[in-house]
Every structure is written in structure tokens, then in C-alpha cells.
Amino acid sequence: MMVPDGMTCVEISRPGPPEALVAVRRPPPRPAAGEVLIKVAAAGINRPDVLQRQGAYPAPPGASDLPGLEVAGTIAALGDGVAALQPGEAVCALVPGGGYAEYCAVDARLCLPLPDGYDMVRAAALPETFFTVWHNVVERGRLQAGETFLVHGGASGIGTTAIQLAKALGALVFATASGAAKCEACRRLGADLAIDHTAQDFVEVVKAETGGRGVDVILDMVGGDYMARNIRSLAADGRLVSIAFLRGSTAELNMMPVMLKRLTLTGSTLRPQSNDAKARMAEGLRRTVWPLLSSGRIAPVIHATFPLAQAAEAHRLMESNAHIGKIVLTV
């Protein structure tokens, strides 16, 4: 496949508002040893892209400065030593940056096949949330069939993935979201209970619904005042997994329940982890989750698509919090 000398991509011209995203021309990246070059057809948008644009989440060393953590497309070129993929093959991939572009280079081990029947838009909506939810809910949170799971931001990209995956794993699933429409979306995706956090106190609802026992695993992206409330909502031996702090990362906490209930407080960020660690997650997903996607048992929720050049518009939508599920750029 011929790779041109120049490509269109969207860069962060300065830390700032959505208008800071501008379309520019750059040379396409070259795949290093062990990498493939993907001709991008679609790129998913994630909240960390918004933080990066604002200057609060810099690209890790060695990663592209362009935003974009997930893509779908076709293999355009192979770096040295790549034998498992062929030019022309359709893949989706978790990338450490550089997704908002016509071409993107990535470690070959972080490519996954398109699930059966998937187009590029749906495939581009998968990697970031599925790697994140797999790692945090299954590997760190150790959610088991029969346990009770609570996810905050249930209508977010992460939340819509977490509800479906936890349900498919056999958990009882609770979700919080703002407003009736988002709560209804959570229930449609399989949540056994959706709590409108603008009208109800999730601590009281969890207590009532579990007969005072609490939930086994919480996936939290809110932080702030939710930290103490999460601890109150966990059952004995419960696990709290923090993946973001939309309401701030500091709080005064009474740690006594952590000791008395034998709680585990953990968390992670996906992007700075090693490619070896991400490759292990990819294997887990390929084995356990990709068959669920291929069978239609679970599926990404696509809220809207925008052409690459309208990335700023897509970010405005994400920051409005009006979306349910994923926003995807078409390239």
C-alpha cells in the first residue's frame, strides 16, 4: 500500500478551548520495529482527549503529541519484525496518541480484529473503554459472577461499556447517571438499577437495595465528595477502583471502614502503562470479550460521528455532557 508524504491530522495548537484543535498537514508517522502503520478510517473520542487539549494530561514520553487514543482502519505498512498482521487487514487499535490523523503508528500487539459484522465507526469506539474497563473492573476490581457492581457515569463511554461487560460477566449492575434519559439508557444496556444522581442519594439507594450490605465493586470517575460516599457504599471485602476525578482528587476520608470492612482502594491510568502490560490486556479482551462483541451480546453505543476536521465540535459535545455513549471521528 502506498503511503503519501503528507497527511491531514488535528493538533492541539495551544492548551485551551475546543477551538485550539486545528487541522494541519504533517508527514505520516513511520512504523518502528514491532509497529504497524494504520490508515485510519475512524477515531474514537475520549474524555482524556479533552483533558489533554486543556493541558492537564500530557502525552507520555515517546507518544505522538496529537490527540486520539483509539482508531480503526487498515494496515498500510509493517515495521520490522511484524509477522502477525498483513497490509490491507482491517483492525482496531489502542494507541498512545496520534489517533486524530489519517495515519497512525502503533505496537502491533495492540491491534485487535474487527468483531464480526463491525464497520470502522463501531470498531473505533471499542479500544479505549474496553481496555480500561477490562483492566479496572476485571483485573484490578476482580469482579466475580454473582457480585454487585456499581459504576458512576453510567451513560458515559466508559459507563456504557462497564454496564454491559459487568452484566455479561454475571454481576448485578447498578449505575448512576444524571437525568431520566441517561438512567433509561443505563437500564436498556442491562443495568438492574439506575440511580439519577441529580435527584437521589446513591448511598441511600444502594443501602436500601442491598439490604444494608453494600456493593462489591465500584468503578468511579467522579472522586471529590464521592470518595467517602463510595466507601460507605461498599460491602465487606469490597473494591473501589478510581479511574478519574471529575469532582477533584482530594478529600478528607475516615479510613476506619477500610480497615473494618477490609476494603481495597485501587485505580489506574491506561495510557502510561507499558506496551507489554497493554498487550496482556489485549489478549484477555481477544479471548473473553471479542466473542461477546461478535455475537452481539454486547455492543458499543455510538452517540454521534463528526468528520475529522470538526474535532472541535465533537469536543464541545463531549464537554456538554449531553451525549450517551461514544463520539467518533470519521477520517
Residues 263-302 that bind ligand NAP (CB under 6 A): 268-270
Q: Which of 52, 132, 210, 233 binds ligand NAP (CB under 6 A)?
A: 132
Q: Which region, judged by CB under 6 A, interacts with ligand NAP, from 164-172, 200-208, 244-252, 274-282?
A: 244-252
With binding defined as CB under 6 A, does residue 52 bind ligand NAP? no
**Residue 151 or residue 331: which is nearer to ligand NAP going by CB?**
151
Contact set for ligand NAP, span 133-172 (CB under 6 A):
153, 155-158
Position 318 contacts ligand NAP (CB under 6 A): yes
What's the N-to-C CA distance of the chain in angstroms? 18
Q: HEC profile for the chain? A: CCCCCCEEEEEECCCCCHHHEEEEEECCCCCCCCEEEEEEEEEEECHHHHHHHCCCCCCCCCCCCCCCCEEEEEEEEECCCCCCCCCCCEEEEECCCCCCECEEEEEHHHEEECCCCCCHHHHHCCHHHHHHHHHHHHHHCCCCCCCEEEECCCCCHHHHHHHHHHHHCCCEEEEEECCHHHHHHHHHCCCCEEEECCCCCHHHHHHHHCCCCCEEEEEECCCCCHHHHHHHHEEEEEEEEECCCCCCCCCCCCCHHHHHCCCEEEECCCCCCCHHHHHHHHHHHHHHHHHHHHCCCCCCCEEEEEEHHHHHHHHHHHHHCCCCCEEEEEC
- Closer residue to ligand NAP in complex, CB, 77/205: 205
Q: Taking CB under 6 A as the criterion, which residues in 180-199 touch ligand NAP?
A: 182
**How big is the site for ligand NAP, counted in residues (CB under 6 A)?**
24
Under rule CB under 6 A, residue 54 binds ligand NAP: no
The answer to whether residue 178 forms part of the interface with ligand NAP (CB under 6 A) is yes
Question: Is residue 321 involved in binding ligand NAP (CB under 6 A)?
Answer: yes
Give the closest residue to 115 by CA, choosing from 106, 124, 107, 102. 124
Which range of residues in 40-48, 117-125, 210-218, 253-261 is near ligand NAP by CB under 6 A?
40-48
**Site for ligand NAP (CB under 6 A): which residue of 243, 263, 281, 302?**
243
Of positions 14, 25, 188, 247, contacts ligand NAP by CB under 6 A: 247
Q: Which of 71, 75, 104, 177 binds ligand NAP (CB under 6 A)?
A: 177
Contact yes or no for 101/65 (Cβ under 8 A): no
Q: Which residues pair with 234 in a beta bridge?
A: 215
Q: Cell 507520555 appears where?
A: 60
Decide if residue 328 touches ligand NAP (CB under 6 A). Answer: no
- Residue pair 94/69 in contact by the 8 Å Cβ criterion: yes
Binding flag, residue 246, ligand NAP (CB under 6 A): yes
Min dist. Cβ of residue 21 to ligand NAP (A): 16
Q: How far is the CB of 189 from ligand NAP (least distance, A)?
A: 13
The yes or no reply on residue 206 touching ligand NAP (CB under 6 A) is no
Q: Which residue is nearest to ligand NAP (CB)?
A: 156
- Residues between 218 and 237 that touch ligand NAP (CB under 6 A): 221-222
Q: Cβ closer to ligand NAP: 212 or 320?
A: 320
For binding to ligand NAP (CB under 6 A), which residues are involved? 46-48, 128, 132, 153, 155-158, 177-178, 182, 221-222, 243-244, 246-247, 268-270, 318, 321
